[in-house]
Amino acid sequence: MKKKTRRDEHAFRRFIRRVWRDDLAPLLRDRHAARRKTAARTGGRLAAAGGLLLDKALRLRGRPFTRAMTVVGASLGAMLPDVWDWRWLRRVATRADRKLVGERVRKSAAALDEDEALGLFGLNSAASRESLRAAHRAASKRWHPDLAADAESRAEHHVRFLAYQAAYERLERAHDEGRLPREERA
């Protein structure tokens, strides 16, 4: 049993690395770049308005502070998403990112090759429908999000649960269509 657990854990980690590399990392990188661009634009506008106020308050002509503050504000605004993360913004972004991760994991697990999906459960292609159901039931009991010890581990449980559920549905379809079980080749 211990060997099977190591094998299916290795298969799951391979799957998650591929999903992260191919699907999630580029999306999150693009979303972060968009946040940075928006923050730079907003920072530049706020700094320019501050420069105009300063020009009027000091009765200067030619707006020397406006130009300088626009550049400084845009630069600080562009750094803001990387440096300062408001707690409420982090919660909103985390929820959205969590949903995005769940959708990508579910989609990728549903598109898994049958042998890879079987590998998630530690099964081979000769596995019967009953052994698949038993492996799915064990994985569901182990990784159900409601059974997580704390909020931090709940995210891992959620991702794993979604992956196992999508892989199970994929394998159930393969059983229904007669592609599984297959004879093992020696």
E strands, the chain, are none
Reported pTM: 0.63
Mean pLDDT, 10 residues at a time, the chain of 186 residues: 71 85 73 74 75 75 66 69 50 67 87 90 91 95 90 80 92 92 72
pLDDT of 170-185, one tens digit each? 999 999 999 999 886 5
Tell me if 110 sits within 8 A of 170, measured CB to CB.
yes
40 CB-near residues (< 8 Å, 6+ apart)? 74, 75, 77, 78
Indicate if the alpha-carbon torsion angle 89, 90, 93, 94 is positive or negative: negative
- Predicted local confidence at residue 35, as pLDDT: 73
